[in-house]
Amino acid sequence: MEAKTQTKNNRSTDQYSLKSFKSNSIDNVPKTFLNESLVPPLDKMVQFNSFFQKPDLDILLSRLVAPLGKKSFLVFRHNKYVSVPTENIAFFYVKYESSMIMCFDRQEYYVNHSLEQIQNLVADKQFYRLNRQFLINFNAIKEVEHYFARKLLVNVVVPVPEKLLVSKEKVTGFLHWLDNR
């Protein structure tokens, strides 16, 4: 008799639970039905639900607005701190394992950031990492020539300590950056 009652209760619980799932009311699922074997599928369902929800308008707008990048860099020169506007910078480069700024007026400054850090601080549309030693401003580019072994030679409007070469692996990305501004 007790086994019959237990079977009847299980059937009733199963039907009630099924009805709750069909009506999307998980809160009404009896606690006896929620055991450890159902936790992973329910967690997965919650993840899918949050993945497919419509994003908030503010989140979408923040993704559409491109970061503007750092407006200036604070440098130390002649016992003074000077702010160098980013728009005045022709390129950043590495000299003796230190990062340097070369401005359009041919002034040079040491900067307390690595080239990788600087790359993350400036606007992607304005600056491009040519190679391990140079991060160049779009406005500093005078012309680009083909070079040996499918590389590119970048000629700039200010003197450069060495040839600015774009490796063959970066040529496509660089040309895309030049074209899509």
- Two tokens at 55? 């994003």
Q: Tell me, what's the pLDDT at 73? A: 93
More confident residue, 93 or 17: 93
Residues of the chain with CATH 2.40.50.1020: 72-179
**Angstrom distances, CA of residue 32 to CA of 43, 106, 172:** 18, 77, 61
How sure is the predictor about 43, in pLDDT bands with cuts at 50, 70 and 90?
confident
For 39-58, b where at least 16 C-beta lie within 10 A, e where not — what string?
A: eeeeeeeeeeeeeeeeeeee
Angle, CA of 25, 19 and 5, to the nearest 5°: 120
Tell me the per-residue pLDDT of 113-124, one tens digit each, with 9 for 90 and over: 999 999 999 999
Q: Mean pLDDT across the chain, nearest whole number?
A: 80
Q: Tell me, what's the pLDDT at 161? A: 81
CATH superfamily of 72-179: LytTr DNA-binding domain (2.40.50.1020)
Q: Is the pLDDT of residue 65 over 70?
A: no
Q: Is the pLDDT of residue 137 over 60?
A: yes
**Average pLDDT score over residue span 41-60:** 65
More confident residue, 155 or 28: 155
